[in-house]
Amino acid sequence: MSDNPTDYAFGMIGLGTMGRNMLLNMADHGFAVAGYDKNQKQVDLLGQEGQGKPVKGFTDPKAFVQSIKTPRAIMMLVPAGPIVDSVIAEMLPLLAAGDILIDGGNSHFTDTERRAKDLAGKGFHFFGMGVSGGEEGARFGPSMMPGGDKEAYQTMKPVFEAIAAHVDGAPCVAWLGPGAAGHFVKMVHNGIEYGLMELIAETYGLLKNGLGMADEAIGQEFAKWNDGRLQSFLLDITKDIFAFKNPDGDGTLLLNDIKDEARAKGTGKWTSQVAMDLQAPIPTVDAAVSMRDLSKYKDLRVELAKLYGPEAGHLQGDKNELLKQLEQAFYFSMIMSYAQGMHLLAKASEEYKYDLQLATIAKIWRGGCIIRSAFLNEIYNAFEKDNNLAHLLLDSKVQELTQSSAPGMRAVVAAAVAAGQAVPAYASALSYFDAFRTARLPSNLIQAQRDYFGAHTYELVGQEGVFHTQWTGKRSHPDAPAGPAANLKPNTPPVPNTKQSEDPSKAKL
């Protein structure tokens, strides 16, 4: 480490687990880096872990900024929300036009859009970058999702490509698009993560309560799955959790002492919210978010369990056959989870003009990130062949994989429902598939109902125009008897319609 105060090529604000480990990762790759944190303990920890490496920590913001080569490149890894704005406000008087600021936290994409416009107007480069992989990923190779100022990213590209995870020699980082594209993609990544985690939790429940398996056997089943086509980071850590004993040495599984109340930081909720805004259905993510919320009502659940007993029963059928079907069901549901996320990304790309390359996203998710899995290779191949693929389920290979695993999916959901086992994520994945493969849904009835009570109009099969029907006679009171149905009356633009109402005597053009 040089004593020259302006030798550092990169700066990091926030020396918590993620920020500190990313700095150490950069130092391992030969980059001289500086870190800033108001907490002296975090700075001291960086010094201890970075001993002998080209890294230095600061508690003085001015000294930190002055230690970095110009034009400066500084990344923030601090909690999303107002803290990011306060850090920017603290840094701006110390920076110069042309310097680069990077938000590497889980900021909401609308905040990133606002900050980018504001900082560009002040002469600064800014981009948001999602970082996935947790502590281990940050230290040894994360997946990174930058978007926004492309020129600024090109400046940082050599650093990020060096520290990223690599799969088949390719770095798991790429510029994804303008504006807040990077943070949007990271948000959807986290939504998919919620769905997959809920599916694994429901699988655990089926194995433990539905099949009566011991903890050790459950861990072995997850390990077996992880050695096959279901290979993924989340299953890998799950089999480790089932092997972890209580530190007090009593030999029991730590998992069994953990409260069944799941927490969340909000990114899953954001994904559901924006999906509804974009009218892109992601029911498996929605179910996962809802189940985290429901889990927090522990006292209420205990009370209701007493009132509505008995407890859920065992799955009916041959155990070995059910295990095979459960593996199929998980694979099927995993496909649906990714498919929902990729469809949401495609809709967002249209709406926000991100021009997302879905093959690139799948490619950089294959290593380093929390949702990395063997199946991402199939997603990459599908969108590499056709980046304009309207939906992942249209790909011939994915179609083959889906159809081959569908029988197990149906068997497991049916058995779980019959036994009273809660499987909302599994059920949502199956219903999502069945609805999307239905050429004519019963949604025409909803449109008729909307027109009946609110004159919201509807469209007709094979005819142009928007229509409204006076379904009953005038009512003087909501409880008054219904009058005879009237004819279809085209709304604007007017289109003649010869379709008769239920009362032929009243029919007219």
Residues with catalytic function: 186, 193
Q: Check if the beta carbon of residue 179 is closer than 8 Å to that of residue 120.
A: no
- Among residues 410, 354, 401, the alpha carbon closest in space to that of 377 is found at 401
Q: Taking Cα atoms as reference points, which of 181, 317, 165 lies closest to residue 233? A: 165
Which of 487, 490, 489 lies closest to 501, judged by CA? 487
For 323, 326, 393, 411, 413, the CA distances from 408, given in Å and listed in that order, are 9, 6, 18, 5, 9
Q: Which two tokens stand for residue 364?
A: 């950089």
Cα–Cα dist 219/216, whole Å: 5
Fill in the DSSP letter of residue 490: E
Q: Could you please report the per-residue DSSP string of 3-24?
A: --TT-BSEEEE--SHHHHHHHH
Angle between helices 109-121 and 181-205 (to 10 degrees): 160
Q: Which of 405, 391, 359 has its CA nearest to residue 378? A: 359
Provide CB contacts within 8 A for 109, sequence distance 6+: 128, 180, 183, 184, 187, 274
DSSP string of 187-219? Answer: HHHHHHHHHHHHHHHHHHHIIIIIS---HHHHH
Q: Which of 145, 188, 147 is nearest to 364 (CA)?
A: 145
Q: Contact at 8 Å (CB) between 285 and 192?
A: yes
10 Å CB burial of residue 377 (0-12, 13-18, 19+) is middle
Task: Please report which helix (H) or strand (E) contains residue 166, including its range.
Answer: strand 166-167
